[in-house]
Structure 1
Amino acid sequence: MTTLPDQKDAVGFDPVRIGAFGRCLRNPRVLIAGGFLAIIGLLVLLAPWLAPADYRAQIDLPLTNAGVLGTDDFGRDVLSRLIVGVRTSMLVAVLAVLVAGAAGVFLGLVAGFRGGWLSVVIMRGIDILLSFPPIVLAIAAVAILGPELRNVVIVIGILYIPRFTRVVYTQVLSLREAEYVQADRVLGASSTRTMFRTVLPNVTAPIIVQGSLSLSFAVQIEAGLSFLGLGAQPPLPSLGTMVGAGRDFLEVQPSLLIFPAIVIVAIVLALNVVGDGLRDVLDPRRGQS
């Protein structure tokens, strides 16, 4: 009796992973969270056209019900500022995660593949960064560098480099002695080519999952820094600055605080739900369980 070839090799896809992806799509939590994040993505891309008014312009008297969500303490449209605030917060978070991902993946590849003293130096530096509470280190760093969005992106990016480095380092340690990696070496490929052309494609799944989870934390850190006045500076709104400004008018106009706070919670929750769904799809061990 002949044995059928492995289905993944025969038809070009992994049925286990496809099945996990189907279960993920049938999960109403993932569908709702993904749809919400798609709406957030549209807001980020189309904010200047979707905002009903200029976020800097005074459209009415302060703290009135003009517009959909009313006006703030300067008479500016709250809905317009909320849309632009979502764009500001998400752009900062995405750029910070891209910085963290690029640096963390590179360091993890080098430390895991090269080994030796270089691995020790890199991983001990990562351990030092992990020993500090992220929000405390972020506040100190931004306070020193100055309250600018560029500095916020750099600081948050550096804070989350260790997460990517540890994930990639662990994966590379388990892959560097694999047969296909050894075959690459026998064929005369350089270490750099082997790292980036052979090893890196096989660690993309945990990188994607870590990126989605880090994005939710980056949104929280950015909101915290902006709430303290260390992020976006007036008149540019972000979700954190809107929460900070709205706390003084909670009794008079609670929507100034409630709506941006709800959006922050919803974005973080949606990113975590989608991250869990991606983990189920991209981690074969979870897909088989």
Structure 2
Amino acid sequence: MSTAEQLPVQLPPETPSRERKGWRSFARRVVTNRRTAIAGGFLLFVAAVALLAPLITPHDYRDIVDKPLTSGGALGVDDYGRDVLSRLLIGLRTSLSVALSAVLVAGVVGVTLGLVAGYAGRVASTLIMRGIDVLLSFPPIVLAIAVVAVLGPKLVNVVLVIGVLYIPRFTRIVYSQVLTIRNLEYVEAAQVMGARPTSLLLRTILPNVAAPIIVQLSLSVSFAIQMEAGLSFLGLGAQPPLPSLGTMVGSGRDFLEVQPTLLIYPSILIVLVVLALNVFGDGMRDLLDPRRRGRTS
């Protein structure tokens, strides 16, 4: 027996897949990017607080726990004697729920329309994109106020209105990306291999346009929070006794001279969450775009 036959076959050690390496590399870049990591950590904390709000609130947001406008409770009480901290936590949960639901609606519909418009041909592209142009021709806040005023001040209506208003953002981004990559070699190879249009869009094209979609998701949540706060401030969002950050700002303005914290606390929370979302979105854009990757810090 030869020496080669006597030696056991040594297989090369298994290496992580390219996809796993890519995710590890991306996670490492997120952690080392200070601003993005801080903003992401703060957003995770806010999301956890909002999710657990019913369990961690000191009181029920509807209960009267002290005399109106006294120092009772950790952050005081409002004009009805309800605990401000409890209402602030539930208000954060309400605002985030509306914003995330609206962006989910906008993302699903907008991405679908963008994929179809970019791949299906000139007729579909013209119809979809002209419809998007018509929607963009209306001032968002004016259209939102008009529609919610007609349909009624319900959270479901607010979610639908904000979702429809932000559909064009996703549609235009995905449409431009699909136009760029639909004639590339790997897409043509998938077509030659007999991939169906639906499979081609979902398995080949969509993963390669995911980066700008992720960035737009984070930025759109920021805009949706501001939109919900504006509608609730005008009395067209969450209805009493359910609080949201916008309704708390709206009710707190009447007591600015007596107890300014009723307006200051929800306003600061809106600013912090919106700022964190914008910083995180900008950081994700830098990390996901190879042309900007060298400028991240």
Whether the aligned pair in 2 keeps the contact of 1:242 and 1:256 (CA below 8 Å) is yes
Indicate yes or no: 2:226 matched with 1:220: yes
Alpha-carbon distance in 2 for matches of 1:237, 1:96: 18
| Partner residue in 2 for 1:161 | 167
Whether the aligned pair in 1 keeps the contact of 2:88 and 2:244 (CA below 8 Å) is yes
Alpha-carbon distance in 2 for matches of 1:238, 1:40: 15
* Alignment partner of 1:268 out of 257, 268, 274: 274
SS at match of 1:231: coil
* Aligned amino acid, residue 104 of structure 1: G
Give RMSD over aligned pairs: 1.9
**TM-score of the pair, normalised by structure 2:** 0.90
Indicate yes or no: 2:243 matched with 1:251: no
How many residues of Structure 1 are paired with residues of Structure 2 in the alignment? 281
* 1:13-162 alignment runs, 5 A limit: 22-162=28-168
Whether the aligned pair in 1 keeps the contact of 2:39 and 2:277 (CA below 8 Å) is yes
| Partner residue in 2 for 1:5 | none
Deviations 1:9-39 (A, max 9, x none): 9961698997675454233322322222111
Give the number of the structure whose alpha-carbon radius of gyration is greater: 2
Alpha-carbon distance in 2 for matches of 1:218, 1:175: 30
Indicate yes or no: 2:215 matched with 1:209: yes
* Aligned amino acid, residue 219 of structure 1: I
Alpha-carbon distance in 2 for matches of 1:69, 1:126: 45
* Aligned amino acid, residue 170 of structure 1: S
**TM-score of the pair, normalised by structure 1:** 0.93
Q: Point out the more displaced range, 167-176 or 129-138.
A: 129-138
Whether the aligned pair in 1 keeps the contact of 2:36 and 2:284 (CA below 8 Å) is no
Segments of structure 2 that go 5 or more residues without pairing to the other structure are 1-14
Alpha-carbon distance in 1 for matches of 2:276, 2:43: 7
* 1:165-180 alignment runs, 5 A limit: 165-180=171-186
Alpha-carbon distance in 2 for matches of 1:23, 1:121: 41
Deviations 1:239-277 (A, max 9, x none): 000000000001111110000000000000000000011
Structure 1 residues 65 and 102: alpha-carbon distance in aligned structure 2, compared to 1, 3 A threshold? same
SS at match of 2:206: helix
Alpha-carbon distance in 2 for matches of 1:261, 1:249: 14
* Aligned amino acid, residue 94 of structure 2: T
Whether the aligned pair in 2 keeps the contact of 1:16 and 1:287 (CA below 8 Å) is no
Q: Point out the more displaced range, 42-51 or 86-95.
A: 42-51
